[in-house]
Structure 1
Amino acid sequence: MQAIIDYCKRKKAATEDYPFGPEPLVMKVGGKMFALISDSSISLKCDPAIAENLREQHEAVKPGYHLNKKHWNTVLVDGTMDEGDILAMIDHSYALVVSKLSKAEREQAEEAAK
């Protein structure tokens, strides 16, 4: 799980937060969440059509736990899914969130990351 956390932290302008207490770790860009990480799972934003497809293909991919199930998937990190697939899902989530930021929000996030 640490490799996944480290991967999220390396995203440009990514910040970590604990708005719900000591768990889960919330990764944000521009103040918007792109990953919610607990002991054995990671929840990621996802295009609705892709989200449904991933759930059909992988037993470890479930509708977002306590999140909008149309736009979020929760991935059980139990060794049944290739880590590369999980990293690709992180990339997709991050890109979706960044694409929704205004130019000013993107610039502010990048400046804060310096």
Structure 2
Amino acid sequence: MDQHTAHEYLAKKPLVMVTKSFGQEVDVYKVNHKMFATLSVGNEGETDEDGNPIWWMNLKCDPDEAQSLRDIFSSVIPGYHMNKRLWNTVILDGSIPQGEIERMIDNSFNLVIANMPEKDRKAIEIHM
């Protein structure tokens, strides 16, 4: 999955807003003003075989699953500039299948809405 595909998948979630809360270089994806993802160029200066920058995506995650994903995928690391227990950074270097990244995005989105008041949660779920 590249950054364009990731952006499209994130932005198509119900009632999502994209902000620049952390500066112009970081897209922040929120639902009902609650962040569930960020997308930015990795800060390590890494590039792919064509010289394009490698993008990083932060996603919220269940703590047990967060560690499991880090054990399985070398491109999943503790959340960069985030609570490392609750967030993972997914390095979009092509090593993780797109379906798995979509599942991680879905889980992040669902974790965030699950912690909202029932009224807000139902307003979002009606669009799913």
Distance 1:88 1:13 in 2: 19
Aligned-partner residue type, residue 95 of structure 2: T
- 1:102 is matched with 117
The equivalent of 1:26 in structure 2 is 28
1:54 aligns with 2:56: no
- Structure 2 residue aligned with 1:81: 96
Matching residue's letter, 2:93: D
Aligned to 1:8: 10
Alignment length (residue pairs): 112
Higher helix share: 1
| AA partner of residue 10 (structure 1) | K
Amino acid at match of 1:33: M
Provide Cα deviations, 1:38-88, integer angstroms capped at 9, x if missing partner: 121100000000000000000000000010000000000001111111111
**Hey, what's the Cα distance between the residues in 2 that align with 1:29 and 1:68?**
19
Give the counterpart letter for 1:77 in structure 2. L
CA-based RMSD of the aligned residues comes to 1.8
Greater mean deviation of Cα atoms: 13-22 or 65-74: 13-22
Structure 1 residue runs of 4 or more that deviate by more than 6 Å after TM superposition:
none
3-state SS of 1:38 partner: strand
Q: Given that residues 30 and 108 in structure 1 are in contact (C-alpha distance below 8 angstroms), is that contact kept between their aligned partners in structure 2?
A: no
Where does structure 1 lack aligned partners over 5 or more consecutive residues?
A: none
Q: Could you say which structure has the larger radius of gyration?
A: 2
Q: What TM-score does the superposition give when structure 1 sets the normalisation length?
A: 0.91
1:109 deviates by: 6.0
1:37 aligns with 2:39: yes
TM-aligned CA deviation for residue 9 of structure 1: 0.6
Q: What percent of counterpart residues are identical?
A: 40
